[in-house]
Structure 1
């Protein structure tokens, strides 16, 4: 592969908006093992948050995807592939980036924060109930019976 072609491929692989409109590959080989990447990402993303039991699995998948991205990019950087193979690698790198973006957007479930929010809501409902029961629901301000 010619130097300008290699640079062009590297620029495409590292372009900021490269993932816009890109799709997550159905299946990809990561560290020598086939992974149903699209199915995995959609399964996790469907939940909108990462359940505590899945957090380790998602973190491991993200780590492996980042490692695979670096390995594929280095093949282009080290000029180990033809231009055609480089184009395929770039497309797979963009797909990996798209999957990583989707997984990075998920927020972990913070159980402690969720418990605090729930407790605050419970206290608010309780105070509203008490005020209504005691005749202090705001309608009779200043009037005593």
Structure 2
């Protein structure tokens, strides 16, 4: 950690450290999902949304569009916050909080990306294959 006070202006060195931190793929390891996040002026109960969706095992068809929209909004919010971290006049405390919020958003995006969205075309194809196998099995049993 940096030894500067929280209310001091953010140093270039510390800014680079924080930017490097939010860019690391491993930054979200062990990171908790944020309880809530403000996206474009609207507070969203992110943790509850992710866990409710994950609890269902797969993303139900009626929630797919909503999950995709939330991911897109989170991605846009992450980009805005990263740009702010790159160029805004911030105190050390503000920059640390901003970096932490970016990592939390990354964690939420990762959790939402890992939700299973069944591919209906693959399911239909698999059903056709199973039907064909049953039919061939039936014909084999008749012809024997």
TM-score normalised to structure 1 length: 0.83
| Range with bigger deviation, 42-51 or 30-39 | 42-51
Alpha-carbon distance between aligned partners in 1 of 2:55 and 2:143, rounded to the nearest angstrom: 46
Task: Please name the residue that 1:140 is paired with.
Answer: none
Question: Between Structure 1 and Structure 2, which shows a larger proportion of helix residues?
Answer: 2
Aligned 1:34-53 pairs, distance under 5 A:
34-53=43-62
More RCO (CA 8 Å, sep 6+):
2
Alpha-carbon distance between aligned partners in 1 of 2:19 and 2:35, rounded to the nearest angstrom: 23
Unaligned runs of 5+ in 2: 1-9
Q: Quick check: which has more Rg, 1 or 2?
A: 1
**Deviations 1:53-75 (CA, angstroms, capped at 9, x unpaired):** 22211111011101111121122
| Contact 1:73–1:93 (CA under 8 A) maintained in structure 2 | yes
- Correspondence for 2:75 among 58, 66, 72: 66
| Contact 1:9–1:90 (CA under 8 A) maintained in structure 2 | yes
Aligned-pair CA distance for 1:8:
1.1
**Following TM superposition, where does structure 1 have runs of at least 4 consecutive aligned residues deviating by more than 6 angstroms?**
none
Aligned residues: 135
Provide the alpha-carbon RMSD of the alignment.
1.7
